[in-house]
Structure 1
């Protein structure tokens, strides 16, 4: 994942797109998977892509809406399961799950274990800090504050960006504090236990908008990432899902989801 991290290039255009799906249950020009069940695994820890809504207790998010629409277009049933980020790629590689989704950055080393769909979203990483932070304003000045700490999940794009683009290239650098979930890194930031969390604009916007000034973004974006769904190597689901992704981009469905989850939705109610 990447928190596993530019506001989306087409986000402004999404303002003009109503959130409505008019496609038939099974699109005539897309593969029909015959109603079979597909097990999709996620972490439920990366808002607004996928998370447990604190008001309803239901698992919701951009990726859930997208996957449900893909399932409708391709005529398959989704069975959702959950696992930790640390276990996800290997579990999908081993065939425990048929699809994985949790803002997973498409990377060459990961392609050795799993197959990726075409990108469904592009993001860049930003520096999320407390609202009253004044010691640093970008990556260079953060590195110069020797007691400033970064919170990250091991093995994620933010972790490696912290190591190689902000700090000294030492993956054991004690200035990086490790956490099991992205949400835990943000809680540590709010509590003052760390001073910076790297995340893409998707999560950064959600947390800043819901923080009542407690959080802000500083500095320039630190890298571009494409997100994709993952599959066991050789999966026959890749081509149909790619066809559905292409259709959802072309008919405005993804733009509508961008508006719903990045602009309209207020995290926490």
Structure 2
């Protein structure tokens, strides 16, 4: 069965060769804080590593507004990685699915450690370190919906975060399993509302809005990384059983061909080899 890439999904929906999903609006929250230093430093400062991280994912990258500091697995990985690279200071900057690619390409940050999955399409622009965390893209439903399997969900509405990979991955999954075959209507040109033959896709600018849509019943399931889902789980919600949209792994992204690519990969590999990353995962699990 033909697999739809991110670019092909946009082209199929809009009738163009432009990848619409890549330009969808994401969370626009951005800022700089630091566990080491919050001082803006130029790229020429060899002692500073500027790292793009998430500020809204508990256990991975979370910004405490009261302390002005970031906490989580990826924050600790960045600190340890920088130390092994001989960088005495780390500057953390919040990135989102909507702006992280451009921030790295524009040189506003040196690397991304932000639940950024390793994908062939992304390797066109970036180098990736060895994977430091394996994850799955899953579907979360309200317990009150009584959905026991994906087979119960034909005709239902699925929500994703705009700018993330979830929408094209979900589209591919449904095509591969014969759940869905075609798009019936593109309601909004930015692909934030697309009606398929057996399901509807809605995309939201932030994970909080996606979570709110699930609670309000605007969507019947939200599809997102398992790591991110932990932030929005509660006793009223469950992971849809026996349904994994995709397997994925997170890596550290640097500009393709960057002088930092090899040192970053070497540092992450060493942290994998000596058990440091496993220890950090256990710490934040």
2:258 matched to 1:223?
no
Q: Is the 8 A contact 2:116 2:252 kept in 1?
A: yes
Per-residue CA distance 1:147-194 (angstroms, 9 max, x = gap): x22221224221112223235454662422111222331232223222
Q: Secondary structure at the match of 1:102?
A: coil
Which position in structure 1 is the counterpart of 2:6?
A: none
* Structure 1 position 126, deviation (Å): 1.7
CA pair 90-128 structure 1, distance change in 2 beyond 3 A = same
CA pair 112-35 structure 1, distance change in 2 beyond 3 A = closer
CA pair 119-169 structure 1, distance change in 2 beyond 3 A = farther
2:162 matched to 1:154?
yes
Q: Is the 8 A contact 2:128 2:252 kept in 1?
A: yes
When normalised by structure 2's length, the TM-score is: 0.70
Higher relative contact order (CA 8 A, sep 6+): 1
Per-residue CA distance 1:194-218 (angstroms, 9 max, x = gap): 221122332334543xx1x121111
Q: Secondary structure at the match of 2:265?
A: helix
Which blocks of at least 5 consecutive residues in structure 2 are unaligned?
1-44, 175-179, 184-190
Which blocks of at least 5 consecutive residues in structure 1 are unaligned?
1-33, 263-269
Q: Secondary structure at the match of 2:144?
A: coil
Whole-Å Cα distance in 1 between the matches of residues 98 and 208 of structure 2?
Answer: 15
2:223 matched to 1:198?
yes
Q: Secondary structure at the match of 1:178?
A: strand
Whole-Å Cα distance in 2 between the matches of residues 238 and 159 of structure 1?
Answer: 29
> Normalized per residue, which structure has more strand?
2
Q: Secondary structure at the match of 2:100?
A: helix
Which position in structure 2 is the counterpart of 1:260?
A: 283
CA-based RMSD of the aligned residues comes to 2.3
When normalised by structure 1's length, the TM-score is: 0.74
* Structure 1 position 78, deviation (Å): 1.1
Out of 49, 62, 66, which is 2:73 matched to? 62
Whole-Å Cα distance in 1 between the matches of residues 214 and 72 of structure 2?
Answer: 23
Q: Is the 8 A contact 1:43 1:85 kept in 2?
A: no
2:211 matched to 1:214?
no
Q: Is the 8 A contact 2:97 2:162 kept in 1?
A: no
Alignment of 1:7-18 (within 5 A): none
Number of residue-to-residue matches in the alignment: 222
Whole-Å Cα distance in 1 between the matches of residues 218 and 226 of structure 2?
Answer: 22
Q: Is the 8 A contact 1:46 1:102 kept in 2?
A: no
Q: Secondary structure at the match of 2:194?
A: coil
